[in-house]
Chain A
Amino acid sequence: MSSDKQPLMLEARGITVKFGKVTALDGLDLTEPSGQVLAILGPNGAGKTTFVRTVATLQRPTSGELRVRGNDVVRNPTGVRRDIGLAGQFAAVEPTMTGRENLEMTARLFGHGRPEARRAASAVIDQLGLAEVADRRSSTYSGGQRRRLDLGASLVGAPRLLLLDEPTTGLDPVGRREVWDAVRGLAAAGTDILLTTHYLDEADELADHVVVIDHGRTVASGTLSELKASVGRDVIELAVTDSARLDEAGRILERVTGSLPRLDRGGRRATATAAGGASELATVIGYLGSAGIATDEIGLRRPTLDEVFLALTGDHAARTAVTSQNGSTR
């Protein structure tokens, strides 16, 4: 309490959460300092939501230890609850109440008296650009406005750590952009943020630090550039002119690079990581030429976050992530 040093944002040691026979978190370890936006990335079912619920004291760990800003979630849950603000996948605002009423209610539930609750609600309304709609019932709000109100409700108690569980799931691009701007503003003003997402671009846009979890365990952690560098090798990407020759081009990629190519039939594209860089690219071009396969495009590039994700969590996970990002049902 009295130390000048900021306590760690999170300190998890072997956190395990079991629901009957299902293991949602399986000995998760994590140590994260304060003063950052942390993104927890993982495919659906990786344990992201369970992790956030555990941090928010909504879920007791079956075993392991978790401290949130120095407070143990089991021994001192009230201490944790005073430090956090939670906004979830579902906007937990009361539709029959106005935005202001929702915010004032939540402020009172954080422990504010009536005047401070009013002040906190007004400050949040200004900050999140809700002034025009603040005195309307929140049932009339757009998806983005409702999500921002929900975000605001988690802020009225001046939390030190904001927990955002998939803050933009189900929003249209405009709504997503609005929530991102709000989150950036908060981070810039010094609030610690932990967000979960399966949108890779969201982590790319917002996070300082990324933790990838899969099957309830931490599989990688670092800054985005560190993660990209850890997967390392560049990627050869090509687009064939005739889609019938895609498989053949893929086989050439595999033979040269020694890694399994990914084929995108719609885009007539094949990609493969290439440890050998430019010389392997030259070889591929040579082979394609002698096989008479015309390409629209071919080149070497840094891996995208999707590919990093794929490399870290395996095929199944990346497909889920990429699919949900595009919003298609596959």
Chain B
Amino acid sequence: MTTATQARPAFPTAISRPVSPPGLIASSAQVSLRALRKYFRTPGLWAMGVVQSVLFLFSFRYVFGGYIQGGATRYADFFVPGYVATIVLFTGGGIAVAVAEDRVAGFTGRLLSLPVPRLSITAGRAAADILTNAWSIVLTAAFGFLFGFRLSGSVTDGLAALGMCMLYGVVFTVVFMVIGLMAPNAQAAQGMSMIAFVFAFISSTYVPASTMPGWLQPFAKYQPITPMVDAVRSLIAGSGSDVGLALAWSALLVIVFTPIAVLRYRRG
């Protein structure tokens, strides 16, 4: 014991004690930075999104697109806005998995044992996921143009539509965080996230809801994704007629899921 003391300087004194606990912004930034590093340093995470977007756009444009007759509207102009608006339903699985992994691997526990404001654990994670979602949305939109999509209205209308997609990125970040926090482990989080596919496909994203069989139409019409997708299309067309309902759905989802996320995170 004494030899160890003599051989090394008294170690803890080499580190000063922090004067005060970190603030909300500083600690949220650290939590975000770590999540972003993990995302961009794991090719499996960011590259999968790119590959998936290209694959979907390619399939619907060139494989199914030839058969789907969209009347006056070119099919690319119909489905690309829908796909960009719902891309967060596909990237969301990654968020749920990451959140579940953090809890199982003890990272969330470590954070909770530190003197950080509790809110920064949720806020930091959400900020990072909102950014990665924004990245996926911009990337997918760019690929959309490459696969034949053209704006029917002004560039400003197009940007408004993109902004709407970004909002959905925020909304579904919170939703998938909750899925990740509810799941017992990462695999379960992945599985539970598949429910989003039901909402993505049985909606007006790929074909108008009115073309579906009668028994399916009520679900397709009244679930949140259809008005959200319609709002993006209406913004591109310059009318913005469906925006109100989409905003109402967005607000409802955020109001319901945010408190659950904040409270579940506290439990670790």
Contact = CB atoms under 8 A, between A and B. Distances in A.
Interface string A127-158: 10000000001000000000000000101111
B27 interface: yes
B69 interface: no
A147 to B, nearest CB: 12
A188 B1 contact: yes
Given A111-B115, A157-B114, A190 B15 contact: no
Interface centre among A94, A124, A137 (most CB of B within 10 A): A94
B11 A58 contact: no
A190 B114 contact: no
A13 interface: no
Contacts of A293: none
A88 B5 contact: no
A105 interface: yes
Nearest to B19: A111
Interface in A231-283: none
Given A97-B37, A109-B30, A189 B4 contact: yes
Contacts of B72: none
Nearest to B112: A58
A89 B42 CA distance: 25
A94 B2 CA distance: 35
B11 A185 contact: yes
Interface string B153-190: 00000000000000000000000000000000000000
Interface stretch (B103-111, B215-223, B224-232, B235-243): B103-111
Contact of A96 (B4, B38, B109, B116): B38
Given A82-B18, A111-B20, A188-B5, A94 B12 contact: no
Contacts of A88: 106, 109-110
Interface in A202-239: none
Contact of B4 (A109, A163, A188): A188
Interface of B: 1-2, 4-5, 8, 10-12, 14-22, 26-27, 30-31, 33-34, 37-38, 41-42, 104-107, 109-116, 268
